[in-house]
Amino acid sequence: MRTTSPGSVTVRVPAKINLHLGVGAPRPDGFHPLLTVYQAIGIYDDVTVSASDDWSLTLETAPYLDPAAVPLGEENLVFRAATLLAELHGLPVHADVVIRKDIPVAGGMAGGSADAAATLVALDRLWEAETSDEDLFRLAAELGSDVPFALMGGNALGTGRGEVVESVRGGDVARWWVVVTAREGLSTPAVYGHFDELTPDAAAPSPPHRLVALLADPVEAIAGLLHNDLQEPALDLRPELRDVLAAGKRAGALAGLVSGSGPTCVFLCSSADHAREVAAGLDGVGDVVLTANGPVAGAHVVEYA
Ligand code: C5P
């Protein structure tokens, strides 16, 4: 048992992709009903929180990211996460927070949501608040549709507006992905808005039973089942992504699709070696080409000092 309070806590949190993203017509609250299969993949942000009487938020980014694209004021989801947790426990919002960012910004990989989830976990430890899982997931859902999944990680079925998550099979079967980022992000509300224009009579999304049943099967079984209802609106808004998807096919990927609301594109590969080959074939396409495996764990403590 630890007897002294921590001076700092670092939480690592993964990016998400959607193996399936089914979208319905907007609800009265403006959000779209989703049926989605999430997978957490090994591109991570680290959030370090250190003891302080005041609040500060700073950012370090991978060279392929634009730091100017991340707001550091009260609109950052990290500040909102800290505020909700502090309110729950009757505390002031107090910590020095550093985000080390590798997850593409506004990339369709839920990077901002990931940072919010990491902040909840890190501040809970730093403040020794012992928040229940139930409260953590409730606050996460309040923060954003993808935040509960960032806490959970692995493979999950997402319903509601994406915030209702349930772990599904295949957690121990490694998949390999090539990820092609675009430096200029896409606005999630703009992509959903364009979905509404292109699909004025969207039907309620149906459950991806087949994909969920095959998640632990050999990789070829899922290659033909990857699907994203936001892909057409994202391609319409960013036509050059069609070239990225075509280049992935030429490079030998088993399947490729836009991740969430884009513009990141992800390509399914059969092994780590195959992913390296596909990545080499995509050299010079898009902005940066990464390889990542999934599923991986959700937000978890990696340093406690
Ligand atoms: O929930 P989150 O804050 O991530 O959503 C950002 C925006 O994306 C929402 O304001 C909404 O425009 C859109 N969205 C949606 N339907 C969802 C999730 C997000 O329309 N299920």
List pLDDT tens digits, range 147-157: 999 999 999 99
Looking at the CA of residue 192, tell me the nearest atom of ligand 1: 20
When the pLDDT of each residue in the chain is averaged and rounded to a whole number, the result is: 96
Half-sphere exposure of 19 (CA within 13 A, CB side): 33
- The protein residue with its alpha carbon nearest to ligand 1, atom 12, reads 189
Residue 1 has pLDDT above 70, yes or no: no
What DSSP state is assigned to residue 297?
B
Ligand 1 atom nearest residue 147's Cα:
4
Query: Which amino acids are annotated catalytic?
Result: 16, 146
Q: What is the DSSP string of 230-285?
A: THHHHHHH-TTHHHHHHHHHHTT-SEEEE-TTSS-EEEEESSHHHHHHHHHHTTTS
Rounded-to-integer distance, Cα 248 and Cα 271, Å: 15
Residue with tokens 């500060």, as numbered in its chain: 56
- The number of the ligand 1 atom at minimal distance from the alpha carbon of 162 is 21
Question: Ligand 1: distance of its center to the CA of 151 in Å?
Answer: 18
**What proportion of the chain, given as a percentage, has pLDDT over 70?**
99
Instruction: Give the closest residue (by CA) to ligand 1 atom 15.
Output: 31
Grade residue 3 by pLDDT with cuts at 50, 70 and 90. low
**All residues at 6 or more sequence positions from 64 whose CB lies less than 8 Å from its CB, including other chains:** 181, 183, 287, 288
Question: Is there a contact between 106 and 257 (Cβ–Cβ < 8 Å)?
Answer: no
Amino acid type, 57: L
Token match 């700092």: residue? 8
Q: Write out pLDDT tens, residues 268-302.
A: 999 999 999 999 999 999 889 999 999 999 999 99
| Residue 23: Cβ within 10 Å count | 24
Q: Which of 16, 27, 32, 159 to mutate to test the pocket of ligand 1 (most atoms within 8 A of CB)?
A: 32
- The answer to whether 118 touches 13, Cβ cutoff 8 Å, is yes
pTM score of the predicted model:
0.97
Q: Ligand 1: which residues within 6 Å by Cβ?
A: 31-32, 34, 144-146, 161-162, 188-189, 192
